[in-house]
Amino acid sequence: MFKPLVMEIRGRLLGLSQGQACLGTAQGQKTILVHSAGNAALGDWVVASASDASEGSYSLAVLTPNRHPEKSLRFFERIQDPRRQRGVAFRAQIEGLIRKFFCSRGFIEARTPLLVPCPGMETHIRPFQLKSGAYLPTSPEFALKRLLVGGLEQVFQIAPAFRLEPKSNTHHPEFTLLEWYRAFAGLQEIMSDTETLIETLAIEIHGKPEIRFQGRHFSVRTPWPRLSIRELFFEHAGIDLVACSSTERLALECQRLGLKPTGDSGSVDTWDDLYFRIWLNVIEPRLPQNQAVFVHGYPPSQSALSVIETLSDGSRWAKRFEAYAGGIELCNAFEELTDPQEQRARFLKDMDLRTQLYGDEFPKTPLDEDFLEALAEGLPPSGGNALGVDRLIMLLADEPDIRYTFWLEAYAGPEGTEEPTR
């Protein structure tokens, strides 16, 4: 005699009415006929069982007898949110395609430490520090460059990075950086890598080198326009940055443009403060909106880790570029500084500036002596880029909120635990 065939469905009980149950499963919601619910209550995880003799009607058995019935289904609702599931699916696809892109070109994927003696030396970027004195890295840059010193010529990493900055639609305290470095390569080679990567991703995902983001369409077809900082300031603001090399001259230009030339707190602005005020209010909004672009040739004061070149007119510019797509800044790339003495001097200068700006409220970061020692051992001429993976996912998924591109939010302290607005 044959045993009855038993069919089982496991899921969370979301609804129970008039002999029907709605179950939330990994494959989506399912509605089934029920002849016995036992002691199952809404929110319980249950197994619904039916035999071929029960004519498609199921009985329910509770799998979570210790569940508190008064608790909400906050985590279940979060994970089952179709918008979040879509964003996370895009993340998995895009990170896989990034690995395929670099591995097919002979790059070695690296994994670098998340506990470091120095998180980075940027003047304004606040790191997370542990009680042990170790930091969480704001970037894997110092570690990846040590790999170049050790003889690897092409390396990349999709790395978690940590910055103690307010949450927003485009920033999270724990985020994902794609960084890659190439020995014996310069800025043009890294530009080519960048535009080819993003064009390839767009074609793989959308079938064409075009991205639609929040109702706007823009091209990522290569080659992308190369726009210099000097030319952008002259074209859109009528400012010659070489002639306005003093804080006083640039403050006058701010006044001419109707921009407040002093800080909101009453403190006197630095040259960089004035530069960024003009950039954010006048230049950046006028960047092309229908085409991804490179912006290159930055003032030397914004070049802590890059080579500085001197042009024929005597002006000096950092060999650095950023990429903008859909109005979003995606990456920051350098032709890398290799001189250990110059690098040490720049680090110390940036920390002195931090003290001047923030005092004891934001103490200096210790120098990464291991990194400086590696430079002294010999870093080959190199180019590298740091690209925000989360923002790239947002663009390719047409998702305006970064928090819908991962399952759970990072904890950065008692504040900032709010859910994203829908």
Is residue 162 a part of any domain in this protein? yes
Q: How many CA atoms lie within 13 A of 405 on its CB side?
A: 28
With cut-offs at 50, 70 and 90, classify the pLDDT of residue 115. very high
Tell me the CATH number at 363: 3.30.930.10
Q: What letters, b where the CB count within 10 A reaches 16 and e where it falls short, cover 61-92?
A: bbeeeeeeeeeeeeeeeeebeeebeebbebbe
Q: Do 304 and 386 share a structural domain? A: yes
With cut-offs at 50, 70 and 90, classify the pLDDT of residue 127. very high
Side chain identity at residue 179, one-letter code:
E
Residue 155: domain span:
81-225+288-405
The pLDDT of residue 420 is 43
Tell me the CATH number at 49: 2.40.50.140
With cut-offs at 50, 70 and 90, classify the pLDDT of residue 418. very low
| Helical spans, DSSP H, in 222-339 | 229-237, 247-256, 271-278
Tally of domains within the chain: 2
pLDDT more than 90, % of the chain = 82
- Give the residue, 389 or 122, on which the prediction is more confident: 389
Q: Do 185 and 53 share a structural domain? A: no
Is residue 268 a part of any domain in this protein? no
Q: Do 394 and 310 share a structural domain? A: yes
Out of 182-196, 264-278, 399-413, the most confident range is 182-196
Q: Do 85 and 194 share a structural domain? A: yes
- Taken as a whole, the chain contains a residue count of 422
State how far the Cα of 52 lies from the Cα of 245, in Å rounded to an integer.
84
State how far the Cα of 329 lies from the Cα of 325, in Å rounded to an integer.
7
417: pLDDT strictly greater than 50: no
Q: Do 95 and 51 share a structural domain? A: no
- Backbone phi and psi for residue 274, each to the nearest 5 degrees, phi listed first: -65, -40
Q: What does the pLDDT average to over 370-381?
A: 97
What is the average pLDDT value for the chain, to the nearest integer?
Answer: 92
Closest CA to 160 of 111, 202, 208: 111
Q: What does the pLDDT average to over 15-27?
A: 91
Lowest mean pLDDT among 21-25, 319-323, 353-357: 353-357
Q: Do 66 and 145 share a structural domain? A: no
Is residue 238 a part of any domain in this protein? no
The pLDDT of residue 69 is 83
Q: What does the pLDDT average to over 166-190?
A: 95
| pTM for this model (two decimals) | 0.91
Between the alpha carbon of residue 61 and those of residues 68, 174, 326, the distances in Å are 17, 40, 51
Q: Which helix (H) or strand (E) holds 200?
A: helix 187-206
